[in-house]
Amino acid sequence: MLIFDFLIFRTKKLTCFLLSRFTNILAGKHIENSILGKLQASSHKLQVIQLEPGKLNTRKLAACSLRLVASLPYLRPMNKEVVLSGIRPTGFLHLGNYFGAMRNYVRMQDEFNCYFFVANWHSLTTHPDTKELKNSVHRVIAENIACGLDPEKVALYIQSDVPEIAELYLYLNMMAYKGELEKTVTFKEKVRLQPDNVNAGLLTYPVLQAADILIHRAVKVPVGKDQEQHLEMARNYAERFNHRYGDVLPLPYAFNYGGELVKILSLDGVGKMSKSENQMNTLYLADEDESIRKKIMKAKTDQGPAEPNAVKPDYIENLFTLMKLVSTADTVQKFEDDFNNSSAGNCVIRYGDMKKQLAEDMIRFIQPIRAKAADIQQNQDLLKKIIRQGADKARASASETLTLVRTAVGMDY
C-alpha cells in the first residue's frame, strides 16, 4: 500500500489542511479521496487545483504525488537546505582555493546539507589524458578533508560514482540549444585555448554542470563570478523542465558568505593563483617548506611608497592580505605602520623582512594541511572507505531525484 499525507497551505486569514490519501496507487484499485491536488509553490503561496475523481490514470496519479513531494520541501522541516559545489581534479589546490572556497565549505557543513564532489567527468573536456587522473582525484579528496571537511557531515564523492547524473544530463540536453551553448564565455575561451579539441563535452559543459546541481535539487551553489552564467543556465534548464513536465526541480541560486570572501592574487600581482598555470607565483597546499620560502621571497615588490599613508599597489596589498590570513595581528600592524610611515628618501618598511616573516608564517599554516593530506593519501583503505561512503550518500539523493524525473517525463515503465 502506498499512502501520501500532505500538509498544505497558509493564507493570511487561516491555515488550511488538505489530507490526500492514495491507496494502492500503482495497482489503481481504489482512490480513497475524491480530491487530488497539484500544488505549485510561488512566493510562499500554494494554488490548489481540484480534479474530478476517475479522470486520472495511475501513472499520472503517481506523477502528481511525486511532484508534490518534490515541490514542497518545507513539508519536511528537519531537512536543511541543500548546498552543492564541485572542483575539477586538474592541477593542485592552492591558497586561493582554500580562502576563496574551502574555508567556507567547512562552515557550510554545519549549517546545510552539503554535497561536494570531484568533477572528474568535467576534466575530460580539457584533459583527455587520464594517466594521472586517479592520483589527482585522490589528492583533491585528501586535501579537502585535511582542510576541515568531515566525510561524516557531508557527501564527499566522485562525479563518475553517481551514474544518475549522466541520465539527468541526457534529459537536460533535450532542453539545451546549440546557439546558447556556443555563446557561453567559457566555451569561447576554451575554443581559443584548444582549437584542435572542440568536443561535444566542451560545448555541453554547462548542461552537465546543471545536472550536477539539479540531481540533488540543490538550492544554494557557491560559485565565483566566472561561473554565474553557468548557474543561470542551470536555472533555465530547471524552468524548462518544470514547464514541460511539472514542478520537480527547484531553482538553484548563487550563495557565498559575501562579507568573508577573500580575493588572493598571484605573487606577481597578475591575475589569480592557478591550479595549473603560473606555478612559481602560486602557493599550493602541497608545497614543501623551501618552495614556499622561494616563492614568497620572489614575490613582486617595489622601492616603497613615495609618501606617507600612500595607496598600496595591488601586488603590495596582496602581500598584506596574505599576512592578515596567516600572521598575528601584531605582526601585521608592525608592517602596516612601517608602510604608512614610509616616503621617498625615508623608506621605513623593509619588504625583504616582511617577506621572510610571511614565509615562515605561511609555512606554519600550510604544513599541517600538507601533512594530513599526505597521510590520508597513503592510507588507501581509509580513502576507499571515504569514497564509497560519499558515493552511497550521493546516490541515495540522486536516485530519489531521478525517480521523480523519470515519472514526470514518463520513463517509469
Structure confidence at residue 228 (pLDDT): 81
pLDDT at 41 exceeding the cut of 70: no
One of 38, 153, 272, 356 is an active-site residue; which one?
272
pLDDT at 68 exceeding the cut of 80: no
| SS3 of residue 143 by DSSP | helix
pLDDT tens, 168-199? 999 999 999 999 999 988 888 888 888 888 89
* CA–CA distance, 379 with 328 (Å, rounded to integer): 34
pTM greater than the 0.75 cutoff:
yes
More confident call, 2 vs 325: 325
Q: Please, are residues 128 and 197 in contact by the beta-carbon 8 Å criterion?
A: yes
Q: Please, are residues 56 and 64 in contact by the beta-carbon 8 Å criterion?
A: yes
pLDDT tens, 148-168? 999 999 999 999 999 999 999
Structure confidence at residue 128 (pLDDT): 82
Question: Could you tell me which CATH class the domain 82-261 is placed in?
Answer: alpha beta
pLDDT at 94 exceeding the cut of 50: yes
More confident call, 79 vs 302: 302
Contacts for 75-80: CB closer than 8 Å, 24+ residues apart: 75/6, 75/7, 79/113, 80/111, 80/112, 80/113
Looking at the domain that runs over 279-373, which CATH code has it been given?
A: 1.10.240.10
One of 190, 220, 295, 393 is an active-site residue; which one?
190
In the predicted model, what is the mean pLDDT of the chain?
A: 83
Confidence of residue 37 (pLDDT cuts 50, 70, 90): very low
Same fold, 82-261 and 279-373: no
End-to-end CA gap in the chain? 19
One of 220, 275, 300, 393 is an active-site residue; which one?
275
Confidence of residue 65 (pLDDT cuts 50, 70, 90): low
CA dihedral 325, 331, 336, 341 (to 10 degrees): -170
More confident call, 104 vs 51: 104
Confidence of residue 259 (pLDDT cuts 50, 70, 90): low
Active site residue 275: yes
Active site residue 131: no
The angle, 0 to 180 degrees and rounded to 10, between the axes of the packed helices 351-378 and 380-409 is 80
Burial zone of 45 (CB within 10 Å; 0-12 exposed, 13-18 middle, 19+ buried): exposed
Residues 6+ apart with CB under 8 A from 139: 89, 92, 93, 286, 373, 377
Structure confidence at residue 64 (pLDDT): 53
Structure confidence at residue 214 (pLDDT): 98
Active site residue 272: yes
Percent of the chain with pLDDT over 70: 79
β 82-87/36-38 pair status: unpaired
* CA–CA distance, 309 with 217 (Å, rounded to integer): 50
Domain residue limits, the chain: 1-75, 82-261, 279-373
Q: What is the mean pLDDT of residues 396-411?
A: 96
Confidence of residue 91 (pLDDT cuts 50, 70, 90): confident
Q: Show the cell assigned to 233.
A: 543556465
Q: Which amino acid is at 165?
A: I
pLDDT tens, 221-246? 998 766 788 899 999 999 999 999 99
Range with the poorest average pLDDT among 181-190, 260-269, 363-372 = 260-269
pLDDT at 256 exceeding the cut of 70: yes
Structure confidence at residue 260 (pLDDT): 58
Structure confidence at residue 227 (pLDDT): 76
pLDDT at 310 exceeding the cut of 50: yes
